[in-house]
Structure 1
Amino acid sequence: MTHIPDLQWWSENSQGTLIDRLGIELLEVGPERAVGTMPVEGNTQPAGLLHGGATAALGETLGSIAAWVHGGLDRHVVGLELGATHHRSAREGVVTGVATAIHLGRTTASYEIVVSDERERRLSTVRLTCLILDPR
Structure 2
Amino acid sequence: MREIDASLAKRPGVNRDLGVELTEVGPERVVATMPVDERHLQPLGYLHGGVSVLLAESVASTGAWVNTSEGETAFGTEINASHLRPKRAGGFLTATGIPLRRGRTSQVWQVEVRDEAERLICVSRCTCAVVRERAGDES
Aligned Cα RMSD in Å?
A: 1.3
Equivalent pair of 2:78/2:128 in contact (CA under 8 Å): yes
2:70 and 2:18 map into 1 onto residues whose CA distance is 23
Q: TM-score, normalised by structure 1?
A: 0.91
1:1-25 per-residue CA deviation (whole Å, 9 max, x = no partner) reads x24135x23323xx21111111101
Q: Measure the CA separation in 1 of the matches of 2:129 and 2:40.
A: 28
- Segments ≥4 residues shifted beyond 6 Å: none
Q: 1:100 to 1:51 in 2, by over 3 A?
A: same
1:107 matched residue in structure 2: 105
Aligned to 1:76: 73
TM-score (normalizing by structure 2)? 0.89
Whether the 8 Å contact between 1:10 and 1:26 is mirrored in structure 2 is: no
Shift of 1:39: 1.2
Counterpart mapping for 1:1-136 below 5 A: 2-6=1-5, 8-12=6-10, 15-41=11-37, 42-72=39-69, 74-91=71-88, 92-136=90-134
C-alpha distance in 2, partners of 1:72/1:19?
A: 24
Task: Find the aligned partners of 2:61 and 2:24 in 1 and give their Cα distance.
Answer: 13
Q: Runs of 5+ in structure 1 lacking a partner?
A: none
Tell me the number of residue pairs that the alignment of Structure 1 and Structure 2 aligns.
Answer: 132
Measure the CA separation in 2 of the matches of 1:82 and 1:19.
Answer: 17
Comparing 70-79 with 97-106, which one deviates more in the overlay? 70-79
